[in-house]
Amino acid sequence: MNHLLIMLPILIPLYGAILSLFFWRSVRAQQFVGIMAQVCLLIASFMLLFDINENGIRTTQVGSWPAPYGITLVADLFSAMIVISGSITGMAVYLFSIKGLDKARQTFGYYPVLLVLQLGVSGACLTGDLFNLFVWFEVLLICCFVLIALGGTKPQLEGAIKYVTINFLATNFLLAGIGVVYGTLGSLNLAELAVLVRTPAAHPALINMAGMFFLIAFGIKAAIFPLFFWLPASYHTPPIAISAFIAGIITKVGMYALIRLFTLIFVTDQDLTIPLFTVLAGFTMVLGVLGAASQNDFRKILSFHIVSQIGYMLMGLALFTPLAIAGSIYFIIHNILVKTNLFLISGVVAHRHGTFALKKLGGVYLQQPLLSVLFFISAFSLAGIPPFSGFWGKFMLAKAGFEIDSFVIVLVSLAVSLMTIFSMTKIWNEVFWKKKPESDPLLEVMTEQKQHHNRLLYLPVVIMTVFILFIGLYAEPVVAMAQLAAEQLLNSELYINAVLKR
C-alpha cells in the first residue's frame, strides 16, 4: 500500500496518457479520460499528503534495488503539497480547455501531452535521484515545447524556439553539474549525496562549482534574475489554456528543485549562497514588477509578474530560517493557484472580447460582474492584501526577514508588493472599469455569437477561486503544514534516514 501511494501520482497520468492515445480518433473520449485522470490524481495526491502527515517521509525503491544503487522515490510534505497544487491546476486547465481551446489543437494530441506534462510534474517532485530529476525535467521540457508549438502559428513558433534554445542551455548546465557531482562524490542518490557532502573528505570547491551549475540550470528553468528573459518572450504566445498551465506550474517546479537541492545538498558553504540568493531574489522581484508596469497586454503583464513572484520564493531560500522556508513553500502553493487562475480569467475575457490588448478591452465589469469579482479576489491575493492568500506568504517571509535583521530585502519585497497592486489596478481599470472603446460592428457580431457557450469556462475559475479563498481565509492548517514541511527540509537527517533506512 505504501509503494502504491507514492506511485499513484506518477501512474495515473501515465495510464491516462496511454488511454488517450488509444482513443486518438475521438476527442470526446480523450476529454473524458483526461478529466477522470485529473480527478483520480487529485484524490491520490491528497491521500499521499494525509499519509505523510501521519507517518512521516515515505520512500519506495523502484524495482526493489536498494537505496544508493537503484532509483528512489521519496515523498515528503513539500513534494506532496506541490503535487497537490499541480493536480488542482491541471484539473482546472482540463475543464477550461474543453470549451476554451479550438478543436484543431484538441485533435492533435493536446490531451495526452498535457497528461504527460502532469506526469513530469509529479515525477520531478517525487524523485530522490539526481539523474532521475534531470530526466523528469527533460520530460517537462519536451512537453512544454510541444504544447507551445502546437498549432504552429508564427508567434507560437517564435516563442517555442526561444523557449527551447535557452532551456537546452539549462539542460547542458544541469548535466554538467550532475557530471561534476558524480565525478567528485561517486553517487547520484540525493540522500547519499547529503551524507557525503557533510563528511570532511568532500571537496568543498568542486561541490560549490556543481552547486553553481545547478543554480544556473534551475535558475533558467525558474526564471531567476539575469536569466528570465525567455519567459515573457514565450509564455504569452500559445492559447490561454496551454499558457495557464505552463505559467502556473513549470517555473515553480524549477523552484522546487532549487529549494530541494539547496536545503539538502549544497548547504556546506552558506557564506557564498545566502548573499548570492539575497541579491538575486531582490533583483528578480524588482525587475519583474518593473517589466510588468511597462506592458500593455493582459497576458504579458501576468507573465512578468511570474518573474517577480519567483523572487519571493527565492527570498525564503535566501533568508534560510524555518519560518522563511515555510513562507516560500506557502508562497509557491499560493502562486501556482493564483497565477493559473489569473491566466484563466484573461482567457475568459479574451474568449468574450477576442483580444488581450488593454487598449481594446473595457467594460467587462458591466457585462460579466461575476468574473470581475473572481478577478478581484485573485488579483488581491497576488498583491497580498490581508484576508487573501498572498498576504500570509508575504507576512511569513517578512517576519522571518525581520527576525534575522535583513531589513533591505524585506523592504524591497514590500515595495514590490505596492508595485504589484499598481499593476493589478492597471488591469482592473483598463479591462474591467473603463468604458469599452468603440470597435467595428463586425467584431461585435462575432463576439455576440460566442456568448452562449462560454458558461462552462467559468467553472474552472470558480473552482480555483474556492481553493484560493480556502488557503487564504482558513490559512491555519496550510501554514502549519508548510512549517512542518520546512522543518523536514531543514532537518536533513529525516530525509537521509528515511531513504537509507539507517
Partner 1 sequence: MKTIILATAIRILIPLFIIFSVYTLFRGHNHPGGGFIGGLIGSIAFVFHTMTHGPQHTVDTFLKLNLYGYPRQPNQSRSLYLMRMMRVNVWRRRKMARHPDIKHHMVRIESVYIIATGLFLAATSGVFGLLSGQPFMHAYWSDFYIPVLGKPGTPILFDLGVYLLVIGVVLKITFVMSEE
Binding site for partner 1 (CB under 8 A): 1, 3-4, 7, 11, 14-15, 17-18, 21-22, 24, 60-64, 73
Kind plus residue range of the DSSP H or E element containing 59: strand 58-61
Q: Which is nearer to partner 1, 128 or 288 (CB)?
A: 128
Residue 161 Cβ, how far from partner 1 at the closest point, in Å?
A: 20
Phi then psi for 73, rounded to 5 degrees? -110, 130
Q: Which is nearer to partner 1, 122 or 368 (CB)?
A: 122
485 three-state secondary structure: helix
Residue 44 Cβ, how far from partner 1 at the closest point, in Å?
A: 13
73 three-state secondary structure: strand
Residue 26 Cβ, how far from partner 1 at the closest point, in Å?
A: 12
Q: Is 408 exposed, middle or buried (0-12, 13-18, 19+ CB in 10 A)?
A: exposed
120 three-state secondary structure: helix
Residue 64 Cβ, how far from partner 1 at the closest point, in Å?
A: 5
Q: Which is nearer to partner 1, 23 or 376 (CB)?
A: 23
Q: With b meaning 16 or more CB within 10 Å and e meaning fewer, what string describes 285-314?
A: bbbbbebbeebebbbbbbbbbbbbbbbbbb
Q: Which is nearer to partner 1, 106 or 483 (CB)?
A: 106
Q: Which is nearer to partner 1, 4 or 408 (CB)?
A: 4
Residue 163 Cβ, how far from partner 1 at the closest point, in Å?
A: 23
Residue 71 Cβ, how far from partner 1 at the closest point, in Å?
A: 9
Q: Which is nearer to partner 1, 122 or 237 (CB)?
A: 122
Q: Is 501 exposed, middle or buried (0-12, 13-18, 19+ CB in 10 A)?
A: exposed
What is residue 436's DSSP assignment? P
Residue 494 Cβ, how far from partner 1 at the closest point, in Å?
A: 21
The single-letter code of the amino acid at 473 is L
Grid cell in block for residue 327 = 513562507
Residue 90 Cβ, how far from partner 1 at the closest point, in Å?
A: 19
Q: Which is nearer to partner 1, 59 or 483 (CB)?
A: 59
Residue 375 Cβ, how far from partner 1 at the closest point, in Å?
A: 40
Does residue 178 contact residue 188 with C-beta atoms inside 8 Å? yes
What are the residues whose beta carbons fall under 8 Å from the beta carbon of 170, sequence distance 6 or more? 216, 217, 218, 220, 221
Calpha distance 484→487 (Å, rounded): 5
Residue 53 Cβ, how far from partner 1 at the closest point, in Å?
A: 22
Q: Which is nearer to partner 1, 17 or 338 (CB)?
A: 17
Give the count of alpha carbons within 13 A of 133, CB side only: 26
Distances (CA, A) of 54 to 8, 76, 97, 204, 455: 18, 11, 36, 37, 41
Q: H/E/C letters for each residue in 245-290?
A: HHHHHHHHHHHHHHHHHHHHCCCCCHHHHHHHHHHHHHHHHHHHHH
Residue 106 Cβ, how far from partner 1 at the closest point, in Å?
A: 15
Residue 50 Cβ, how far from partner 1 at the closest point, in Å?
A: 20
Q: Which is nearer to partner 1, 19 or 207 (CB)?
A: 19
Q: Which is nearer to partner 1, 105 or 300 (CB)?
A: 105
Distances (CA, A) of 338 to 33, 317, 345: 26, 21, 10
Look at residues 299, 122, 307, 148 and name the one whose alpha carbon lies nearest to residue 225: 307
Does residue 248 contact residue 344 with C-beta atoms inside 8 Å? no
Q: Which is nearer to partner 1, 123 or 254 (CB)?
A: 123
Sign of CA dihedral 185, 186, 187, 188: positive
Q: What is the DSSP string of 314-379?
A: HHHHHH-SHHHHHHHHHHHHHHHHHHHHHHHHHHHHHHHHS--BTTT---HHHH-HHHHHHHHHHH
Q: Which is nearer to partner 1, 24 or 422 (CB)?
A: 24
